[in-house]
Amino acid sequence: MFMLKLIFRNVFRHKLRSTLTVVGVAVAILAFGLLRTLVGLWYLGVESSSSTRLVTRNAISLVFSLPLSYKERIRQVPGVTGIGAMNWFGGVYISEKNFFPNFAIEAEPFFDLYPEFRLTDEEKKSFLRDRQGAIVGRKLAKKYGWKVGDRVVLKGTIFPGQWEFTVRGIYKGAQRSTDETQFFFSWDYLNETMRRTVPRRADQIGIYVVGVANPERAAEISENIDILFKNSLAETMTETEKAFQLSFVAMTEAIMVAIQIVSYVVIVIIMVVAANTMAMTARERISEYATMKSLGFKWLHIATVIAGESLFIALLGGAVGVGLTFPFSGIIERELSQFFPVFRVELLTTFMQIMAAVVVGTVAAIFPVWRGSTITIADGLRRIG
C-alpha cells in the first residue's frame, strides 16, 4: 500500500508533464486503434462473403458484360440452386459528392441469394410489383431522410440520364457487419430503358450471382460453368464470392500494408517520447533514490516505484485512448458512411491497444529503472539536479 501511495504521488508531482504524456499516449493509442480497425474493415467484405454464392463475370475484365442468354445455360449446371443478374449502375444523388453503391438487380431471385438483406413481406411484394421501385439500406435512408414511398432521382454516369425511383423498402442487415448503405433497383427497369434508348446495350449483364447447395463443390461448379463458354465471344470467369472480393482488395494491398506500418510507427514514436519523459524524471530524482537506499530501501523497491509510475502513465493514457476509440469510430461511420459503411472496433483491436500501452510503459521504464537501481548512495548524494 505504501508503494502504491508513493507511485501515485510521484506520478502527479509534475502535473503538466504527466498530463502531456498521458495525452500523448492517449492520442497514439487512439490512432493505433483506428488504423487497425481500418485495416480490418478493408477485408470485411471478404470475411462476410457467403460460401454458397459464386460470381460469374467476363474473363477479360469487369468492364465487359455478358449476354443475357448465358443465364439459362448456367442454371442447368448440376449443383446450381439459383442465379440472378446484377449490374453496377454508378449513379449519383443530386451531385457527385453524394455517392453510394447502387446496383440494378434481378428482383425475383435477389432475396433468396442474399438473405442477409432483410425486408418485411409487404416491402418485398411492393418492390416486386413496381418496375421503378428501389430498396435502400437503413443507414443510407437515415442519411438522406428517405422513407418508403419517397421519390428518388439518380443521375446516371455509366448509364446517362435522370433515373427516377420510388423507395419501396428499407432493408436491415442480418448482422452488424452487413452493409446498410446500398441502393438496389430492378434490372428490368434498366434493361427496358436501354432497349428504347441504346438498343446495343440492352440484354447485357455485368455479373451473374450463382447460388450453390454445396460449398465444397464450388470449384467444380465454377469450372463447369466456364467450360460452357470456352472459346465463345464472351468467355467467363467464375469464382467464389470471397475470391471475387479479394480481387478488389488485392488492388490496394500495398496501401493496407503502409497503413499497418504507420500504426506501429505511431506506437514506437510515443514509446520514445514516454522513455524520454521517464529518463528526465529519473535524472531529477537521482538524489532521492540515493536517499531511499540510505534509509534501507532495496533496489527492487526503487525499480517498483519507477516502473509503476511509467506503467501508470501509459495505462492511464491507454485507457483514455481506448475510451475515445468508440465515439470516434461512430463519428467516422456516420460522416464517412460512403467509404466506411461499417466502422466497428473489434475486441481484438481493443486488446492490442491495451497491450500497446503496456509495452510503451514497460519499455519507457527500462533505462530509468536500471539507472535508479544501480546508482550508488555516494554518487547519488553527490549529484545535484
Of 199, 234, 269, the last residue of a domain is 234
Q: Are residues 172 and 104 in the same domain?
A: yes
Cα–Cα distances in Å, from 152 out to 18, 44, 139, 171, 253? 55, 29, 16, 16, 36
In tens, the pLDDT along 305-331 reads 777 888 888 888 889 999 988 888 888
Residue 239 lies in a domain: no
pLDDT digits (tens, 9 = 90+) for 355-371: 988 888 888 888 777 77
Contact 24, 274 (CB under 8 A): yes
Q: Are 100 and 140 in contact (CB under 8 A)?
A: yes
Average pLDDT over residues 209-217: 90
Backbone angles phi, psi at 214, to 5 degrees: -120, 105
Domain termination site, one of 186, 205, 234: 234
Residue 199 maps to a domain? yes
Residues 302 and 345 in one domain: yes
Least-confidence region, from 93-97, 143-147, 222-226: 93-97
Q: Is the pLDDT of residue 383 over 70?
A: no
What does pTM read for this prediction?
Answer: 0.72
Give me the domain span that covers residue 161: 60-234
Q: For residue 34, which of 349, 360, 358 has the smallest C-alpha distance?
A: 349
Q: Are residues 230 and 324 in the same domain?
A: no
Examine the domain organization and report whether 260 and 216 are in the same domain: no
Task: Judge whether residue 384 has pLDDT over 60.
Answer: no
pLDDT average, residue stretch 175-193? 89
Identify whether the C-beta of residue 345 lies closer than 8 Å to the C-beta of residue 321: no
pLDDT surpassing 70 at residue 248 = no
User: How many residues are listed for the chain in this entry?
Assistant: 385
CB atoms within 10 A of CB 220: 14
211 and 109: one domain? yes
Please list the alpha-helical segments (H only) found in the chain. Answer: 2-11, 15-42, 44-47, 70-75, 107-113, 121-129, 138-144, 187-197, 218-228, 241-251, 253-284, 286-294, 299-335, 347-374, 377-382
Q: State whether 114 and 206 are in the same domain.
A: yes
Helix (H) or strand (E) holding 180: none
- The answer on 174 and 138 residing in a single domain is yes
Range with the poorest average pLDDT among 125-134, 246-255, 274-283: 246-255
- Domain identity same for 204 and 74: yes
- Please, what is the average pLDDT of the chain? 84
Residue 247, in any domain of the structure: no
* pLDDT at residue 244, as a whole number: 82
| Coil, strand or helix at 90 | coil
Burial class (CB in 10 A: 0-12, 13-18, 19+), 59: middle
Cα–Cα distance for residue pair 230/122, rounded to 1 Å = 43
In this structure, are residues 177 and 48 in contact, taking their beta carbons and an 8 Å threshold?
Answer: yes
Range of 31-45, 151-165, 350-364 with top mean pLDDT: 151-165
pLDDT digits (tens, 9 = 90+) for 266-287: 888 888 888 777 777 767 666 7
C-alpha cell of 108?
A: 425475383
